[in-house]
């Protein structure tokens, strides 16, 4: 049975994310659960080592004893069998933020992504923050080009806008033109939505805004919600 998905809006691995990430640790199996940090999105500008250190330190500070960064940082390492094997054994796979287009191009059709997907199908928690969340939607908005590219398609929303309380909200006009009459998600920094299918709940300091059919619906910490109207 597939596990939970986590979509965070940015500013990961720091104070303000305790509620969401303690919940993830608990749901993954507690302190002895295998947690993998994927710093891949930082590989575009050399930030992968910092992302790896921050992610490992953060989940250890929350009580995790088996936290490891798996250094998938480019297309070559994304197809390394030994790294993929580590990902497949994890109970929580968390993709750090960074460059969303770079992350997507590294992961698509790679051994690393197949391993992550298989782990998730077997009950592991999968997701990430900012770029690490964006790749899971149907489409990924590339802010560098202003264009859409087909993403991994594991969330029932057309596209995500992380950092929604800062610069992310400015993507709405462009995305509404590119994806009319579809569902868009705006996720604030230090905020996560956790769930699967059409059942989700907000964790953290900010809010999640669902844009659909010309309306917007805002949800805050503790509130359950659905992405798609039933």
Give the pLDDT band of residue 162 (cuts 50, 70, 90): very high
The answer, as to whether pTM is greater than 0.85, is yes
Residue 230 has pLDDT above 80, yes or no: no
Give the pLDDT band of residue 181 (cuts 50, 70, 90): confident
- Token pair 């930082």 is at which residue? 42
pLDDT value, residue 185: 98
More confident residue, 200 or 45: 200
Percentage of residues in the chain with pLDDT exceeding 90? 93
Fill in the DSSP letter of residue 9.
-
pLDDT value, residue 220: 98
DSSP string, 128-190: EETHHHHTTSSEEEETTTTEEEE----SSSSEEE-STTTTGGGGHHHHHHHSTTS-EEEE-TT
Task: Look over the chain and give the mean of its residue pLDDT values, rounded to a whole number.
Answer: 96
Q: What is the pLDDT of residues 66-117, one digit of tens each?
A: 999 999 999 999 999 999 999 999 999 999 999 999 999 999 999 999 999 9
199-228 mean pLDDT: 96
DSSP string, 107-122: HTT-HHHHHHHHHHHT
The rounded distance, in Å, linking the Cα atoms of 227 and 209 is 10
pLDDT value, residue 6: 98
209-217 mean pLDDT: 94
pLDDT value, residue 45: 86
Give the pLDDT band of residue 43 (cuts 50, 70, 90): confident
Give the pLDDT band of residue 150 (cuts 50, 70, 90): very high
What topology is assigned to 5-225 in CATH? Answer: Rossmann fold (3.40.50)
pLDDT value, residue 213: 84
């Amino acid at each position: 049975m597939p596990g939970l998905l986590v979509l965070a809006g940015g500013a990961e691995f720091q104070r303000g994310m305790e509620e969401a990430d303690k919940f993830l640790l608990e749901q993954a199996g507690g302190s002895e659960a295998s947690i993998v940090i994927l710093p891949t999105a930082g590989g575009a500008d050399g930030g992968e080592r910092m992302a790896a250190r921050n992610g490992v330190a953060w989940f250890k500070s929350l009580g995790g004893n088996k936290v490891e960064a798996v250094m998938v940082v480019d297309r070559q390492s994304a197809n390394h069998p030994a790294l993929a094997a580590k990902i497949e054994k994890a109970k929580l796979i968390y993709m750090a933020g960074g460059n969303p287009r770079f992350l997507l191009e590294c992961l698509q059709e790679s051994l690393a992504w197949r391993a992550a997907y298989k782990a998730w199908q077997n009950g592991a928690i999968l997701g990430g923050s900012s770029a690490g969340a964006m790749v899971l939607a149907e489409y990924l908005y590339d802010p560098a080009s202003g264009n859409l590219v087909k993403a991994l398609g594991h969330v029932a929303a057309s596209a995500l806008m992380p950092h929604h309380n800062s610069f992310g909200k400015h993507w709405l006009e462009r995305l509404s033109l590119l994806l009319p009459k579809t569902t868009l998600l705006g996720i604030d920094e230090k905020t996560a939505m956790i769930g699967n299918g059409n059942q989700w709940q907000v964790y953290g300091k900010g809010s999640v805004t669902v844009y659909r059919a010309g309306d917007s619906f805002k949800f805050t910490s503790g509130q359950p919600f659905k992405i798609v109207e039933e």
